[in-house]
């Protein structure tokens, strides 16, 4: 021994070579000792005795009497020729011969003669049953036996070898390990050579016909472990003792694949092909072959044997030597075998994996080698569904029906089951689904994409291109793939495999490691979740894991800030919900209650985001539970656009351009600011390049009409107002709520009452009204009332930007009664709050910024009216402003300033018309009559100052633009076409009215038109400012002669100047004043005098008023004088009569 050690030190011989030399030295010592014993009549374990020609082994008590010979197998005549043929020159000793013969073929009888087979069999029987080999083992493994004293006992032949083999992975002496492995290769070649095997498995061998139980008396073929292989395949059906023996053997075999004889022969060629450079021992060859099990070049026989071995690993993790070695300390530290004795051989792999994964999730440190082994074994479970017997039983019908009987390998059968599990028609039984869920959890498939071979193969190219810098593990690559689901480069096979895995990951919140690690404390606090990762989600409730994420999600937006999740957990919950937003089956809280509705109503909508959108579109048709789930999700979707997959995809590029600030504040604010921003900007220039984005925005707007809670700010601001004003009857949808609140606001304004609807609600209502006016699709009541009118008058008008409503306004006199009523209400809403007038706000955006940036929304139109004549005013805006002014002249309800200023005057001077207007539901019933009545009060200076200012402004505007005089449009329609056609399209300079006045003076107008023009002329007598043409001609003279006059007296002043000093006036002014005087005289003849007041007004406004007054005074004076004189006469006559 010392010589060999010296050789090792001096020559640098490797340890492996050294151990082989040492073993040969031991063998030489044993043989020398045997020879010494033979001289004194003793026997040896390596000695076989024969007597007679039948070569039957002698009984032990006869051996000492027989003539003994030392057997050297390579010299025995029965085997010499076979050994030379098979082993060539590799016949150094009997061990080498046995290894050579055993490794040559699975069935020894096929390669050697019967006589040689018999010799070899007897030699191995004596070798394994002899007590001397135990002594040799005790000599080689002396130090290890001290460490494991239980192996020293003499329980029977082979006990020491068997005992040490069970703890071979814990042996530190390599000499002992090598000796045991060589002996095991001989022992495991036949079950009858294994300690206790025959006794413990006698019934099972007979039951499953795995081989003969009795020891033969004649030569029989050597089985090379086929009986052990047969029992291993039936491992789950064995009795307790035999099952224990089989698992114990499998554990021992785990160290070296030579020890599993059937596997060794089946995989010899595959080992050379895939694992040529892998040194045998410590389970390395097993691990290599498992890694290549799914390679196409792997032989079917080897795959079959590897599957058999993997099934044993699933039953007993000890059968995997690599896992046991790498994770021994982690298993002990985390008490993964808790409740199992040290000699227990049925601790399942799933139990160990779940325990170690739980340790990782709780922040404990596990060595890298152990993590690698865990990943390898998790992948093992995903590769072959047959390794999960409970799943095999539960899913057998589904496998036969949908998956071709399970012939596909590499995890494809499992993914086939997953694919059909996602189908909404319940093709997979609940029991099968539960087993798939268990397998996904045991393999923790969501934690590392490499765990799933199908996913790995399908997504490898995508990972290389989009996620190459991301380290595997902790679901990092899975998250990256989920973020790229909508990427054009995403392979369809990768998308399918990823979603099939995510389907099950979404049903147990613990399977998303980042979510679990971040939110575990919140889940325990708010959702009664278990803190132990490996523990069941909730005893007796298999759906509990499904409910944890929805529960957490509810606390993301909890109204009480003290009841919200921690910021990091909120971020993670939102991240998960965003990733899964497009797929309803990744939202189990929705899918479980909506399965029937999905199958019945949405079977044709299967694309990303389409199923959820379909459920939302058909909200009213859903069953109550499904409706509530979809309603809750849609409410959350309105707060966080990340939950709307279609919007997130289509608007991803435009959001940073138009809503950058809101998107940056999205995490802090859950009030739907981004969605509101997108809605308000959907018609801007930047949005034109993204028509799909705009379509998604409008689809969501339509969706919000189903329930006002889908508009977060609106709901928050108006909840109390809705409860107060809209409970009788209870509104069915958001459209009803808007109608209710807008009616209340309108009535308060028209009734000149204080607002009862709160200011925050009115502000939000303004946004909702603007959306409603922008697109008729968002106004279901208007759309229903005006459907035929839209088809008739506006069929070619593009929807959006308020175009259809504007078209209907242009045809108001031709609309059906019902449609006209609806349009008039919309007009009222816009005139009461011009900020809701989409057409006005859009056309006048720059003018509002320039002239009215500090004006309240309700006064925007009033402000624009005051600036519309300025030189830099936008012509398009001016056109819209004038159009709105025209509308206001038809009905005072469309002119809040006029109504506010003249309410008392209306009731005082125009009561009958005012009451008629109040009863009317459109403007055509009155059509400017009330305004005309107020204008008629101007000359008499009867109106209040505020009302007079409003009416004067309207009269001036009507003089400039005849369209602002609805009575003129009605009464002088034909006259304008015949007498003044060139002014029909005038630009608002008063030419049409001036033309009609001249024709009035020439008595060319029809009676109705003449009467109205006469009223116009009479009205303009109120002051020069009411007559813009006259004002333009006489402005300088007015400033010169009448600057100090009160309002309403300037025209009279100029007429006086015309009488007294006509040459003092400018020629143009003088001519215009003379025209007006003549018109006034002509108007007096036509105008109707309805009262003494009208007469007084006529006289006071007449150019000849002084002459008239003189005549009246003269007449009164004459009457007075006559009365004075005649009175005395009548008195004298009366006195005479009385006498």
**pLDDT tens-place string over residues 2-43:** 334 443 333 344 434 434 444 444 444 444 333 333 333 333
Q: How far apart are CA 922 and CA 920, in angstroms?
A: 6
pLDDT band of 238, cuts 50, 70, 90: confident
Lowest mean pLDDT among 38-47, 158-167, 709-718: 38-47
The mean pLDDT of 439-464, rounded to a whole number, is: 91
Other Cβ atoms closer than 10 A to 49: 20
pLDDT band of 88, cuts 50, 70, 90: confident
**pLDDT tens-place string over residues 151-166:** 776 556 666 777 777 6
The mean pLDDT of 617-622, rounded to a whole number, is: 92
pLDDT at residue 236 is higher than 70: yes
- 123 vs 621 pLDDT, higher one: 621
The mean pLDDT of 867-886, rounded to a whole number, is: 90
**pLDDT tens-place string over residues 486-537:** 888 899 999 999 999 999 998 888 888 899 889 999 999 998 888 877 764 4
pLDDT at residue 258 is higher than 80: no
Q: Judge contact between 995 and 983, C-beta under 8 A.
A: yes
pLDDT at residue 190 is higher than 90: no
- 188 vs 348 pLDDT, higher one: 348
Residues near 378 by beta carbon (within 8 Å), at least 6 away in sequence: 353, 442, 443, 444, 445, 448, 451
- Which phi and psi (to 5°) does residue 691 adopt? -65, -35
pLDDT of residue 157: 61
pLDDT of residue 43: 34
Q: Which of 262, 284, 289 is nearest to 274 (CA)?
A: 289
With DSSP H G I counted as helix, E B as strand and the rest as coil, what are the percentages for the chain, rounded to 5?
A: 70, 0, 30
pLDDT of residue 822: 92
pLDDT at residue 622 is higher than 90: yes
The mean pLDDT of 782-801, rounded to a whole number, is: 91
pLDDT band of 874, cuts 50, 70, 90: very high
Q: Judge contact between 429 and 398, C-beta under 8 A.
A: yes
Tell whether omega for the bond before 432 is within 30 degrees of 0, i.e. cis.
no
**What single-letter DSSP state applies at residue 1025?**
G
Lowest mean pLDDT among 153-167, 199-213, 271-285, 1000-1014: 153-167
H-helix or E-strand containing 1061? none
pLDDT band of 1128, cuts 50, 70, 90: low
pLDDT of residue 1088: 55
Q: What is the mean pLDDT of the chain?
A: 81
Residues near 473 by beta carbon (within 8 Å), at least 6 away in sequence: 371, 447, 448
pLDDT band of 217, cuts 50, 70, 90: very low
pLDDT at residue 588 is higher than 60: yes
pLDDT of residue 540: 38
pLDDT of residue 916: 85
The mean pLDDT of 448-454, rounded to a whole number, is: 91
Helices (H), 980-1102: 991-1001, 1007-1020, 1028-1041, 1050-1060, 1067-1086, 1092-1101
pLDDT of residue 785: 93
pLDDT at residue 844 is higher than 90: yes
Q: Which of 969, 941, 942, 965 is nearest to 954 (CA)?
A: 965
pLDDT at residue 852 is higher than 50: yes
Q: Is 189 exposed, middle or buried (0-12, 13-18, 19+ CB in 10 A)?
A: buried
Lowest mean pLDDT among 324-338, 915-929, 1088-1102: 1088-1102
Q: Judge contact between 885 and 844, C-beta under 8 A.
A: no
- 250 vs 289 pLDDT, higher one: 289
H-helix or E-strand containing 372? helix 368-383
Q: How far apart are CA 56 and CA 134, in angstroms?
A: 25
pLDDT of residue 311: 87
The mean pLDDT of 249-262, rounded to a whole number, is: 73
pLDDT at residue 685 is higher than 80: yes
Q: How many CA atoms lie within 13 A of 537 on its CB side?
A: 20
Largest CA distance in the chain: 206
Q: Judge contact between 951 and 938, C-beta under 8 A.
A: yes
Instruction: Let me know how long the chain is.
Output: 1139
pLDDT at residue 416 is higher than 90: yes
H-helix or E-strand containing 357? helix 349-361
pLDDT of residue 66: 36
Radius of gyration for the alpha carbons in the chain, expressed in angstroms and rounded: 52
The mean pLDDT of 985-1008, rounded to a whole number, is: 86
Lowest mean pLDDT among 691-695, 707-711, 1009-1013, 1019-1023: 1019-1023
The mean pLDDT of 1061-1081, rounded to a whole number, is: 88
pLDDT band of 753, cuts 50, 70, 90: confident
Q: How far apart are CA 581 and CA 646, in angstroms?
A: 9
What are the domain boundaries of the chain? 188-319, 366-505, 1108-1139
**What single-letter DSSP state applies at residue 168?**
G
**pLDDT tens-place string over residues 930-969:** 888 898 888 877 889 899 989 988 888 888 888 888 889 8
Sequence-distant contacts of 925-931: CB under 8 A, at least 24 apart: 926/890, 926/891, 927/890, 927/891, 927/966, 927/967, 927/970, 928/889, 928/890, 928/891, 928/965, 928/966, 928/967, 929/967, 930/891, 930/892, 930/906, 931/889, 931/892, 931/898, 931/966
pLDDT band of 614, cuts 50, 70, 90: very high
pLDDT at residue 339 is higher than 90: no
Helices (H), 111-158: 114-129, 131-140, 142-147
pLDDT of residue 666: 61
Partners of residue 51 on adjacent β-strands: 56
């Amino acid at each position: 021994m010392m010589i060999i050690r010296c050789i090792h030190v001096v020559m640098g011989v490797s340890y492996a070579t050294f151990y082989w030399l040492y073993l040969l030295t031991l063998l030489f010592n044993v043989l020398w000792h045997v020879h010494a014993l033979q001289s004194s009549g003793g026997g040896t374990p390596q000695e076989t005795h024969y007597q007679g020609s039948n070569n039957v082994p002698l009984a032990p008590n006869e051996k000492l009497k027989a003539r003994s010979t030392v057997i050297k197998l390579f010299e025995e005549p029965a085997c010499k020729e076979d050994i030379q043929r098979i082993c060539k020159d590799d016949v150094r000793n009997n061990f080498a011969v046995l290894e050579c013969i055993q490794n040559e073929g699975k069935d020894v009888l096929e390669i050697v003669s019967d006589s040689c087979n018999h010799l070899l069999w007897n030699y191995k029987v004596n070798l394994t049953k002899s007590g001397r080999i135990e002594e040799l083992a005790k000599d080689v493994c002396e130090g290890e036996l001290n460490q494991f004293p239980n192996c020293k006992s003499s329980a029977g032949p082979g006990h020491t070898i068997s005992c040490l083999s069970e703890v071979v992975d814990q042996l530190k002496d390599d000499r002992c390990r090598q000796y045991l492995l060589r002996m095991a290769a001989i022992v495991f070649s036949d079950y009858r050579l294994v300690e206790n095997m025959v006794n413990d498995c006698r019934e099972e061998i007979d039951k499953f016909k795995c081989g003969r139980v009795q020891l033969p008396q004649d030569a029989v073929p050597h089985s090379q472990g086929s009986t052990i292989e047969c029992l291993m395949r039936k491992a789950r059906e064995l009795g307790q003792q035999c099952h224990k023996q089989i698992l114990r053997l499998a554990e021992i075999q785990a160290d070296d694949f030579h020890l599993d004889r059937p596997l060794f022969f089946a995989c010899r060629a595959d080992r050379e092909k895939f694992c040529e450079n892998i040194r045998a021992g410590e389970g390395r060859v097993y691990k290599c072959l498992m890694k290549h099990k799914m390679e196409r070049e792997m032989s079917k026989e080897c795959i079959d044997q590897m599957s058999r071995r993997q099934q044993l690993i699933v039953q007993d993790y000890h059968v995997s030597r690599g896992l046991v070695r790498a994770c021994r300390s982690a298993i002990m530290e985390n008490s993964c075998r808790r409740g199992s004795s040290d000699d227990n051989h049925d601790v399942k792999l799933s139990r160990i994996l779940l325990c170690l994964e739980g340790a990782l999730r709780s922040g404990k440190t596990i060595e890298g080698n152990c993590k690698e082994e865990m990943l390898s074994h998790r992948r093992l479970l995903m590769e072959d569904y047959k390794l999960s017997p409970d799943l095999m039983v539960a899913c057998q019908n589904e496998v036969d029906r949908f998956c071709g009987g399970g012939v596909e390998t590499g995890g494809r059968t499992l993914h086939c089951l997953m694919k059909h599990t996602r189908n909404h028609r319940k093709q997979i039984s609940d029991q099968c689904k539960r087993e798939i869920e268990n397998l996904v959890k045991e393999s923790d498939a969501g934690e590392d994409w490499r765990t799933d071979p199908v996913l790995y193969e399908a997504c490898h190219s995508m990972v290389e291109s989009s996620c190459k810098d991301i380290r595997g593990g902790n679901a990092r690559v899975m998250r990256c793939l989920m973020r790229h689901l909508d990427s054009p480069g995403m392979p369809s096979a990768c998308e399918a495999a990823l979603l099939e895995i995510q389907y099950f990951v979404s049903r147990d919140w613990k399977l998303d490691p980042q979510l679990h690690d971040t939110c575990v404390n919140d889940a325990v606090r708010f959702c009664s979740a278990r803190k132990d990762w490996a523990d069941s989600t909730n005893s007796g409730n298999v759906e509990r894991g499904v409910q944890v994420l929805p529960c957490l999600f509810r606390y993301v937006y909890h109204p009480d800030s003290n009841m919200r999740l921690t910021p990091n957990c909120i971020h993670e919950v939102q991240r998960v919900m965003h990733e899964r937003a497009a797929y309803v089956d990744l939202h189990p809280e929705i899918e479980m209650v909506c399965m029937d509705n999905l199958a019945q109503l949405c079977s044709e909508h299967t694309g990303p985001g389409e199923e959820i959108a379909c459920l939302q579109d058909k909200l009213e048709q859903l069953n109550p539970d499904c409706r509530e789930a979809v309603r809750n999700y849609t409410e959350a979707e309105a707060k966080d656009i990340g939950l709307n997959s279609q919007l997130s995809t289509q608007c991803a590029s435009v959001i940073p351009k138009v809503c950058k600030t809101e998107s940056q504040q999205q995490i802090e604010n859950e009030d739907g600011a981004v969605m509101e921003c997108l809605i308000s900007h959907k018609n801007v220039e930047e949005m034109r390049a993204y028509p799909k984005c705009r379509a998604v925005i409008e689809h969501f707007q339509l969706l919000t009409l189903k329930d006002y809670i889908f508009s977060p700010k609106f709901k928050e601001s108006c909840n109390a107002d809705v409860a107060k004003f809209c409970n009788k009857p209870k509104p069915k949808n958001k459209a009803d709520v808007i109608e209710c609140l807008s009616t209340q606001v309108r009535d308060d304004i028209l009734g000149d009452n204080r607002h009862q609807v709160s200011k925050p609600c009115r502000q939000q209502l303004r946004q909702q009204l603007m959306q409603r006016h922008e697109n008729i699709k968002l106004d279901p009541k208007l759309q229903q009332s005006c459907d035929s009118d839209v088809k008739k008058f506006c069929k070619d008008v593009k929807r959006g930007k308020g175009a259809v409503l504007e078209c209907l306004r242009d045809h108001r006199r031709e609309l059906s009664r019902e449609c006209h009523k609806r349009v008039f209400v919309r007009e009222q809403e816009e005139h009461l709050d011009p900020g809701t007038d989409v057409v006005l706000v859009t056309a006048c955006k720059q003018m509002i910024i320039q002239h009215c940036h500090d004006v309240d929304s309700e006064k925007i139109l009033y402000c624009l009216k005051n600036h519309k004549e300025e030189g830099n005013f936008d012509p398009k805006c001016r056109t819209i402003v004038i159009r709105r002014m025209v509308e206001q002249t038809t009905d005072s309800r469309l002119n809040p300033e006029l109504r506010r200023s003249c309410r008392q005057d209306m009731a005082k001077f125009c009561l009958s018309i005012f009451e008629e207007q109040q009863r009317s539901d459109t403007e055509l019933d009155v059509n400017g009559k009330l305004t005309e009545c107020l204008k008629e009060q101007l000359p008499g200076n009867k109106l209040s100052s505020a009302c007079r200012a409003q009416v004067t402004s309207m009269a001036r505007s009507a003089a400039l633009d005849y369209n602002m005089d609805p009575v003129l449009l009605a009464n002088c329609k034909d006259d304008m076409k015949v007498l003044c056609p060139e002014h029909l399209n005038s630009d608002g300079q008063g030419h049409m009215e001036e033309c009609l006045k001249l024709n009035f003076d020439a008595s060319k107008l029809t009676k109705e038109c003449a009467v109205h023009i006469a009223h116009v002329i009479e009205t303009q007598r109120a002051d020069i400012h009411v007559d813009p043409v006259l004002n333009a001609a006489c402005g300088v003279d007015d400033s010169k002669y009448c600057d100090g006059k009160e309002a309403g007296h300037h025209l009279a002043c100029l007429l006086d100047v015309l009488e007294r000093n006509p040459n003092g006036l400018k020629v143009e002014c003088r001519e215009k004043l003379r025209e007006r005087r003549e018109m006034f005289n002509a108007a007096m003849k036509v105008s109707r005098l309805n009262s003494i007041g009208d007469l007084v007004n006529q006289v006071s406004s007449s150019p000849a008023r002084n002459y008239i007054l003189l005549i009246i005074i003269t007449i009164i004076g004459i009457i007075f004088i006559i009365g004075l004189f005649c009175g005395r006469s009548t008195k004298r006559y009366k006195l005479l009569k009385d006498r």
